[in-house]
Amino acid sequence: MRFKKELDYVHLSKYFYMFSIALTILGIVFLAIFNLNYSVDFKAGSNVDVSLTKNLTADQIRTAIGGIGTDHEPNVTIGTQRVTIRYDQELTSEQDAELKSAIAKLDDKASFEVNTVDTEMAKELARNAIYAVLISCLGIIVYVSIRFEWRFAIAAIVALVHDAFMVVAVFSIFRLEVDLTFIVAVLTIIGYSINDTIVIFDRIRENLRFGKQKNYDDLKNLVNKSVSQTIMRSLYTALTVFIAAFFLLVLGGESIKMFSLAMVIGLLFGAYSSIFIASPLWLLLKKGQKSKGKPAKA
Amino acid sequence: MKRLLSFIITVLVLAAVMAVSTPGLLDRVRLGLDLKGGFEILYQAQPSEQGQELTRASLLQTAASLEKRANVLGTSEPEVTTEGTDRIRLKIAGVTDEAEVRKKMKEPAVLTFRSAAPGDPEGTYSKIELVGSDFVENAATIGRDNLNQIEISIKVKDKQKFAEITKRLLGQKLAIFLDETPLSDPIVNAVLTDGTASISGNYTIESARELADTINLGALPLKLTEKYSQSVGATLGKQSLDQTVRAGLIGSVFILIFMIGMYRIPGLIASFALILHTWLLILVFVLADFPLTLPGIAAFILGIGMAVDANIITNERIREEMRSGKSIMSSVKAGSKSSFRTVMDSNITTIIVAAVMFGFGTGSVKGFALVLIVEILLSIFTNLYFARWLLNMLVKAGKLSKPKQFGVKESEISAL
């Protein structure tokens, strides 16, 4: 299972940059217009997830839970032997109990998961999530700058922010629900993406020690060589983690479905960005240094 | 020969230990509420009266009284922790009447001093003489009297009322209740007119301290509001557990097949290291008594994918060295050496992210991050050191002499 890997990755990256930039713009537009499809974790309210032993219709559910005295009509989503009911307001514990007994009348083996979050808490969760992402980035910049050099750190950060944003963009475009586990997924993707990038950078650093790179072409060849030396590992690792995330998505519990989906999307972007975003970007930054230090022999 | 023997013994002994202990270990893993059913509530505490301050002591007291109440309601292992300056997180499993428990929990703690009303049977008190708010906030302290006995000093707001009560109940018992639980029943020894009193009796330092804290809490009860709640039905929890564990098992089997198919003998070693890794992770969870949550299992499964990365990096490097024409022995040496740094760097950066998640996360995020951190640390040991040690033993024993055993074709090797 070997394929032709002596490709000009730096040259190819041009197309991938265009793709990423296009998707970024699309993502920004969607985020600006539609924002994200937040779950109760981030916008306050109650989410009721019911596992049933038979299939019920949305009307049956609506009629049954009509009497619990909420101001707003809930959003009812029907799945196979499963119902998700979402309220934009927080259910009190009395309403919560009434709702459960109303549905239990339809199906006495129904099992519930209820999440209720108040507005202030929702804001705090979102704020903490953003802090977590920023601090992770900062930690990585510091570590990579110490172990490597700042150019690697910048390139790595751009790649990981790219990965995180791509997942956010995809979730916004397809209106997928964003809950607390989504944040966990994004953070894991960041961790994984940096892991992937470091492996390639490590090889670039190693190759830098042998031979002198006099001009841009030498550096470009070095990047291409380093990427092709590590590409099998990148693909295999991406594949193994992908296998894990994929089975979680297909067979795992309902409440981590969105998490798994975010992971699967993020992993694909993570593998791709290390090769086509981070490495060429480092080359670009390094080129600046070379041309400043020594006038390039054009 | 000796090396081969120690290789075989190591593998067999570990395999036997794992096979024997796993069923017992699995039974002892503590499941989180999302997997076994139960509910979790995050409360924000506020003083019930305006303008009063929330102290650390009163928060801890409130948490302790929540725990007592949960125990009284017959729930199994309630878990109450304080968070930040004004929050209490409550976790209860196996509740039948959730609405009732939630209502009971939210009621402020009620402190009462009661006397026996006419007709009360011996030892019961039904007439409420004083309530929590009659006491001066945070004025209950412990000290020692002239006879060096431990005593609790209290202060009431209304001197006249207190004088009247002590006069009426002179020589009788004035029992102290928190909610419906009697805490102590001291006897009134004197008529007290200055609004202060000392309670003495057979107290130890701890019991006196506890009583003083309770009186202080009763004087300043906290109002609790639910900020966040999650309740999971037991059936739903079980369903999530089964589905996710099955997904994990199938995913892991595919990863093992991939590793063996791709890297042959080193792949087999990596697979063994991976199984050991999983076993150790379960062991750590049991020993440290960490609860396993649904996001935790997800981290667990993803971490398996990440753990084999160490083996993939190392084995790819070894194969690269072999293809360049080096002998197997020196390929393994060089490959292990140069891949070590890569693996460490990539793992440390992942730990940084996981540590931030642990620091900033609450609930499920914390659970996820914890698994990830433990898992990465373990994988450095199993999939880096241990797998390499096993491989070295086999190579030195001369059992790995063909490139085919590494999944490298003869035709790929370039002559030196």
- Percent of chain B having pLDDT more than 90? 15
Rounded to whole angstroms, the Cα distance separating A242 from B121 reads 71
* Residues A270, A141 share a domain: yes
Strand partners, A75: A86
Q: How big is chain A, counted in residues?
A: 298
State the DSSP H helix or E strand holding residue B83, giving kind and residue range, or none if neither: strand B76-83
Strands A177-178, A37-38: pairing is parallel
Rounded to whole angstroms, the Cα distance separating A250 from A259 reads 12
CB contact (8 A) between residue A255 and residue B34: yes
pLDDT band at A2 (very low <50, low <70, confident <90, very high): very low
Per-residue pLDDT for B381 more than 60? yes
CB contact (8 A) between residue B233 and residue A243: no
Around Cβ B224, how many Cβ atoms within 10 Å?
22
Residue of A nearest to B357 (CA): A132
Candidates A121, A143, A187; nearest CB to B228: A121
Rounded to whole angstroms, the Cα distance separating A244 from B248 reads 7
More confident residue, A262 or A79: A262
pLDDT tens track for A262-272? 989 998 898 88
| Contact yes or no for A239/A228 (Cβ under 8 A) | no
Exposed/middle/buried for A71, CB within 10 Å: 0-12, 13-18, 19+? exposed
| Contact yes or no for A181/A259 (Cβ under 8 A) | yes
Is residue A298, in this structure, part of any structural domain at all? no
User: Average pLDDT over chain B, rounded to whole?
Assistant: 83
Rounded to whole angstroms, the Cα distance separating B60 from B56 reads 6
Distance, first Cα to last Cα, chain B: 31
The distance of A298 to chain B (nearest Cα, Å) reads 34
- Mean pLDDT, to the nearest integer, of B74-83? 77
Per-residue pLDDT for B121 more than 70? yes
Q: Which of B155, B154, B371, B184 is nearest to B281 (CA)?
A: B371
pLDDT at B267: 92
Interface of B with A in 341-400 (CB under 8 A): 341-342, 345-350, 352-357, 359-365, 368, 372
Quick one: how far is CA B141 from the chain centroid?
Answer: 33
| Contact yes or no for B296/B370 (Cβ under 8 A) | yes
Per CB-CB distance under 8 Å, the chain B contacts of A112 are 231-233, 236
B226 touches chain A (CB under 8 A): yes
The distance of B313 to chain A (nearest Cα, Å) reads 6
Rounded to whole angstroms, the Cα distance separating B176 from B219 reads 13
Candidates B243, B338, B345; nearest CB to A198: B345
Radius of gyration in angstroms for the set of CA atoms belonging to chain A, rounded to a whole number: 24
Rounded to whole angstroms, the Cα distance separating A69 from A78 reads 22
Per CB-CB distance under 8 Å, the chain A contacts of B362 are 125, 128
CB contact (8 A) between residue B305 and residue A236: no
Exposed/middle/buried for A166, CB within 10 Å: 0-12, 13-18, 19+? buried
Q: Is domain B2-33+233-414 in CATH 3.40.50.300, yes or no?
A: no
Per-residue pLDDT for B390 more than 80? yes
Is residue A213, in this structure, part of any structural domain at all? yes
Around Cβ A125, how many Cβ atoms within 10 Å?
20
* Residues A194, A96 share a domain: no
Structure tokens that stand for B60 in this block: 């801890």
Rounded to whole angstroms, the Cα distance separating A249 from A243 reads 10
Per CB-CB distance under 8 Å, the chain A contacts of B262 are 1, 236
pLDDT tens track for A257-298? 888 899 899 988 988 898 899 999 999 998 877 655 444 443
| Contact yes or no for A189/A238 (Cβ under 8 A) | no
Tell me which of A188-202, B131-145, B311-325 is least confident. B131-145
Q: Which of B377, B357, B409, B402 is nearest to B310 (CA)?
A: B377
CATH code of the domain in which A252 resides: 1.20.1640.10
B407 touches chain A (CB under 8 A): no
Taking the CA atoms of B44, B47, B51 and B54 in sequence, report the sign of the dihedral they define.
negative
Tell me, what's the ipTM?
0.81
CB contact (8 A) between residue A139 and residue B243: no
B412 touches chain A (CB under 8 A): yes
* Residues A85, A139 share a domain: no
* Residues A171, A33 share a domain: yes
Residue of A nearest to B258 (CA): A240
Residue of A nearest to B338 (CA): A206
Quick one: how far is CA B226 from the chain centroid?
Answer: 21
Residue of B nearest to A199 (CA): B342
* Residues A272, A133 share a domain: yes
At the topology level of CATH, where does B38-107+221-231 sit? Alpha-Beta Plaits (3.30.70)
pLDDT at A24: 92
Structure tokens that stand for B312 in this block: 């993939």
pLDDT at A21: 92
CATH code of the domain in which A94 resides: 3.30.70.3400
CB contact (8 A) between residue A190 and residue B254: no
- Mean pLDDT, to the nearest integer, of A156-179? 90
Rounded to whole angstroms, the Cα distance separating A188 from A145 reads 21
pLDDT at B51: 66
CB contact (8 A) between residue A184 and residue B226: no
3-state helix, strand, coil in chain B (%, to 5): 60, 20, 25
- Mean pLDDT, to the nearest integer, of B230-248? 86
Per-residue pLDDT for B296 more than 50? yes
CB contact (8 A) between residue A121 and residue B227: yes
Helix (H, G, I), strand (E, B), or coil: what is residue B291? strand
Rounded to whole angstroms, the Cα distance separating A114 from B232 reads 6
Task: Name the residue ranges covered by the structural domains of chain B.
Answer: 2-33+233-414, 38-107+221-231, 111-217
Domains contained in chain A, number: 2
Exposed/middle/buried for A115, CB within 10 Å: 0-12, 13-18, 19+? buried
pLDDT at A295: 47
Which of A82, A237, A257, A267 is best to mutate for the B interface (most B CBs within 10 A)?
A237
* Residues A27, A66 share a domain: no
Is residue A139, in this structure, part of any structural domain at all? yes
CB contact (8 A) between residue B356 and residue A114: no
pLDDT at B275: 92
Candidates B294, B312, B354; nearest CB to A236: B312
Q: What single-letter DSSP state applies at residue B386? A: I
More confident residue, A93 or A248: A248
Q: Which of B54, B346, B355, B56 is nearest to B221 (CA)?
A: B54
| Contact yes or no for B41/B363 (Cβ under 8 A) | no
Tell me which of B210-224, B330-344, B375-389 is least confident. B210-224
More confident residue, A156 or A187: A156
Q: What single-letter DSSP state applies at residue B52? A: P
CB contact (8 A) between residue A136 and residue B353: yes
* Residues A14, A137 share a domain: yes
Per CB-CB distance under 8 Å, the chain B contacts of A163 are none
Exposed/middle/buried for A41, CB within 10 Å: 0-12, 13-18, 19+? buried
The distance of B104 to chain A (nearest Cα, Å) reads 11
What would the CATH number be for the domain defined by B111-217?
Answer: 3.30.1360.200
* Residues A240, A145 share a domain: yes
Per-residue pLDDT for B337 more than 70? yes
Structure tokens that stand for B294 in this block: 């649904």
Question: Which domain range does residue A142 map to?
Answer: 3-38+121-289
- Mean pLDDT, to the nearest integer, of A69-87? 83
Is residue A296, in this structure, part of any structural domain at all? no
Rounded to whole angstroms, the Cα distance separating A145 from A138 reads 10
Is residue A63, in this structure, part of any structural domain at all? yes
* Residues A279, A142 share a domain: yes
* Residues A74, A189 share a domain: no
The full DSSP string for B135-187 is BPTT--EEEE-TTS-EEEEEEBS-HHHHHHHHHHTTTSB-EEEETTEEEE-PB
* Residues A245, A268 share a domain: yes
* Residues A230, A198 share a domain: yes
Rounded to whole angstroms, the Cα distance separating B264 from B407 reads 6
Placement of tokens 């020196």 in the chain: B330
CB contact (8 A) between residue A135 and residue B360: yes
pLDDT band at B11 (very low <50, low <70, confident <90, very high): very high
pLDDT at B220: 64
CB contact (8 A) between residue A194 and residue B346: yes
The CA distances from residue A173 to A105, A126, B378, in Å, are 38, 20, 38
Candidates B244, B250, B353; nearest CB to A253: B244
Rounded to whole angstroms, the Cα distance separating B328 from B335 reads 10
- Percent of chain A having pLDDT more than 90? 17
